[in-house]
Amino acid sequence: MARIMIVDDAAIMRRNIQLMLERAGHTIVAEAGNGAQAFHEYQVHKPDLVTMDITMPGINGVETVKNIVAEFPDALIIMISALSSKHLVLQAIKNGAKHYIIKPISAEKLLVVVNDVLVRYQNKKMCAGDRQWD
């Protein structure tokens, strides 16, 4: 039951991820379509966790992670990337991202990674919806 922010320039992707997360019991507290907006929204809502697409117009995911983590060192950010962008993922993690998912995203993959990050860094109990993936 975490408060999550979704960052992706494609509204469809955001919707997709939102459905998957909400079905598992998480709450979407904010959305952003680019890096600048992401930073702003983070400041306002201080979500527990952020999913962020790596390739975005303007400030890309790697930069955005750096900015957010610099200001909020406890930020938990999960990168979403295509297989071809693994090198970007490396940079993002070096900048402070905590985990990543390679597209295509399945609900199973998404929830496993989200949970892993939450458990590791916040010791939150598993959401009820995750039981089926055990």
Partner 1 sequence: MKVLNNQYIIKHFPVAALAVLLVIFLAAIGNGSDNKNFVKKIAPQAVQGVIDLSDWNLREDGLVAIDGEWEFYWKRLLTPADFANDLSGAKSLVVVPNQWNNYAASDDVQGGAGYATYRLTLKLQQPHMKLGLKLPDVSTSYNIWIDGKFLDSTGVVGSNAELCWPAYQPKVLYFENFGNTAEVVIQVANFVHHKGGLKSSLQFGTDKEIRQLREKKLALDVFLFGVFLIMACYHFGLFCLRRKEKSTLYFGLFCLLVAIRTTVTGEILVVEVLPNIDWQLILKVEYLTYYLGLPTFLGFIYYLFPQETSIRVLKTVNVIGIAFGMVVLLLPLKVFAYTLMFYNFLTVAASVHMLYAMYKAAAANKEGAFLFSLGIGVIAVSAVNDMLYNNNLINTGNIVPTGLFIFIFIQSFVLSARFSYAMSAVEQMSDKLRKSHVEIAGWNKKLEKTVDQRTAAVRNLLNNAGQGFLTFGYDLLIRGEYSNECVKLFEQDIKNKNFAKLLFPNNDQEQSFTTEALQQVLDEEDAAMQKIYLSLLPEEALINDKNVKIEYKVLGSDKNDQVLMVILTDITEKRLIERQMEQERLILKMVVRVIQSRRDFINCIKEYRQFCHEGLKSIIESDLETDEMIFEVFRKTHTFKGIFSQFGMGNITESLNVMETELSALGKNSVTPMTVKELIEFLDGFDMLTWLDKDIVILKEVIGEDVLLDENGVVISHSQLAEFERKVSELIQQPERAKLLAEISKLKFVLFRDLFKRYPDLTLQLAEKEGKFINPFVISGGRFPVDADQYYDLAKSVIHLFINSVNHGIESVEERLAYGKNQYGEITCSIELSDGKIAVVITDDGSGIDFNKVREKVVSKGLYSPEQAAVLTEAELLKFIFEARFSTRDDITMLSGCGVGMAVVKREAEKLGGTISITTEAGQGTAYIITIPYHER
Site of interaction with partner 1 (CB under 8 A): 86-87, 89-90, 93-94, 98-100, 116, 120
**With contact defined as beta carbons under 8 Å apart, do 3 and 75 qualify?**
no
Query: Please, what is the minimum distance in Å from the beta carbon of residue 84 to partner 1?
Result: 12
Single out the residue of 48, 55, 47, 58 nearest to residue 92, CA to CA.
55
Query: Please, what is the minimum distance in Å from the beta carbon of residue 80 to partner 1?
Result: 14
Query: Please, what is the minimum distance in Å from the beta carbon of residue 19 to partner 1?
Result: 26
Instruction: Quote the CA–CA distance of 67 and 96 in Å, as a whole number.
Output: 10
Q: Give the count of alpha carbons within 13 A of 103, CB side only.
A: 15
Q: Which of 90, 107 has the CB closer to partner 1?
A: 90
Q: Which of 23, 87 has the CB closer to partner 1?
A: 87
Q: Which of 7, 88 has the CB closer to partner 1?
A: 88
Q: Which of 33, 61 has the CB closer to partner 1?
A: 61
Q: What are phi and psi of 6, to 5 degrees?
A: -110, 130
- 35: part of which helix (H) or strand (E)? helix 35-45
Query: Please, what is the minimum distance in Å from the beta carbon of residue 29 to partner 1?
Result: 25
